[in-house]
Structure 1
Amino acid sequence: MSTAQSTAAHMRKRLYDDMDALEGVERAVLDAQSAREKAQAALELAQAGFNLAAANEQDLIERRAALRAGTLRLRNSLQTMATFPPEILAMVCAEAVSSSISFFVG
């Protein structure tokens, strides 16, 4: 075999090897793109779940604050009532009852 033929055969072999390698790399690129797309979808789903959890947390924090404020108002009212002398409380209750009776009786 001449040097030119040997060089041509070597170049053909290299061409076929490179074509095989290129085909393998193209498959790997497609696999990587598919994996990236799946990861992107999972990331978007996780972000949506995170946003939902954060909104739920915020709603609960606001509800907790409202309940705390309500219980504080009730405690303050009850504490104020607890400091009234029993005689005054009896007068207030008697007045409330008589007002209710006169409202219903007419």
Structure 2
Amino acid sequence: MATWNDYKKHVRESNPEIGRDIDEVEERAKIVSAMIDQRHNLNLSQRDLAEMCGLPHSSVARIESGKSSPNLTTLLKIFDTLGLTLTVQTDPHRRMSPITK
């Protein structure tokens, strides 16, 4: 395989269940990346963001490092603080960005 995208296509074709897992991980990464980018744009440290959200610093650090996935309540609290909106998509065929400012 020449690229990561070629490999993902191969996996999706040979094992759709694992392909869906890859898609889920990539969507989660987009959400966390948007959170980190916006935190940086606002010149906030992880500790600043945690304090503003009323969360332990370790929670924000674990989410940003990919060591844990936030529950929806925590994610919405962080996004609200950062001025981001999370869009929940119920139609898998309708493509949209899951994050808006």
Q: Which of the five TM-score ranges fits, normalised by the shorter chain?
A: 0.3 to 0.5
Structure with greater proportional helix content: 1
- The higher relative CO (CA closer than 8 Å, separation ≥ 6) is in 2
Give the greater-gyration-radius structure (CA). Answer: 1
TM-score, normalized by length of structure 1? 0.31
